[in-house]
Structure 1
């Protein structure tokens, strides 16, 4: 969360546990985290599922879930959802699901992570902020 980079995501036609498991797997493989990791989510049944919780344990991640009825716990990702809707999804009419997937992939992987600046990172893109962070030897 420190860099605001989207490291794991997946698109499907339903919000089942396989969707979030795919996003978690992608994030884990990309980042290859070392040490203890705190994984925060909302209280959705996908995140509370036995399979998802087992994967968190396998990856050495400690589970943290939002408090019931507290939307502020997930403010960072909710902000991203609002941004992608305003800047891309509501501006585009997709003819197919594949067209939407391609467009969202390009937005996240090419624009959002690598070009879009954030006030929380001193007006650097998430990728640039990560490069600076690791260059300092954090």
Structure 2
């Protein structure tokens, strides 16, 4: 492995300097360099090349576990530790996350619905259980707000809306898009937290207008909507934190690419 790294940087640094840094002998390196490549070396080179290709394809969003899954799908099965070692030696690292904090809910609330979902995040088929929420995105000195609706069967985002204000209209537009994209039947559970947008009369009327059942998390309990929180965490890590957006339209375009092209399809 050390010899392979030295060989990769031939012409950039002197062999003497690299051998000294790697704590190997020059004679050993030249002996290694002249020998024909073995099957294991050829496979490693193939896997390493594919790791770098996939890392670039997924825009640094995938770490070793997900890259290992992609390699298996491509017919190159290997362990995540093997991939992690290649990434470490290559100096590539997936985008990492940031923590998020929750504010306690107001003790006095109106239009609170029961928790019909009860953390049962699996569905037997599409359009049986949806979850929705709103997240904040700081861009160029101002807040933007993204509302999304997720189908728990496929985890696809079936509706979303980005805006400069966090109103009931934001939540309703995301839900209206989901309604337009799916053929739904009465009885669909639509779960949210207890945010004022989701407790508004207009929003609840929209939920019930299609025979759907509103569901809300318990007071101050973010884990009752953990799947949606997890999606927002990855979106911010894999898109928002990595970009320097200068306009709302640039953010909208980036979110479209992430949700409709990358997340929902890949």
Deviation track 1:26-74 (CA, whole Å, cap 9, x = no partner) reads 0011012124100100000000000001101111110100000111101
- Structure-2 residue corresponding to 1:92: 243
Higher strand share goes to which structure? 2
- Structure-2 residue corresponding to 1:57: 208
Deviation track 1:65-113 (CA, whole Å, cap 9, x = no partner) reads 0000111101000000000000000000011100100110110000000
Aligned residues: 115
2:257 aligned counterpart, secondary structure = helix
Distance 2:165 2:171 in 1: 11
Gaps of 5+ in 1: 116-138
Corresponding residue to 2:259 among 97, 108, 125: 108
Distance 1:70 1:8 in 2: 24
How does 1:110-129 map onto structure 2 within 5 Å? 110-115=261-266
Task: Give the drift of 1:14.
Answer: 1.2
Distance 1:16 1:94 in 2: 23
Distance 2:225 2:164 in 1: 23
The Cα RMSD (Å) is 0.7
- Structure-1 residue corresponding to 2:159: 8
Q: Compare CA radii of gyration and give the structure with the larger one.
A: 2
- Structure-2 residue corresponding to 1:121: none
Distance 1:28 1:7 in 2: 8
Gaps of 5+ in 2: 1-151
Distance 2:186 2:236 in 1: 34
Does structure 1 residue 77 correspond to structure 2 residue 228?
yes
Distance 1:12 1:20 in 2: 10
Distance 2:205 2:236 in 1: 32
Higher helix share goes to which structure? 1
Q: Please give the TM-score of this superposition, normalised by the length of structure 1.
A: 0.81
Q: Please give the TM-score of this superposition, normalised by the length of structure 2.
A: 0.43
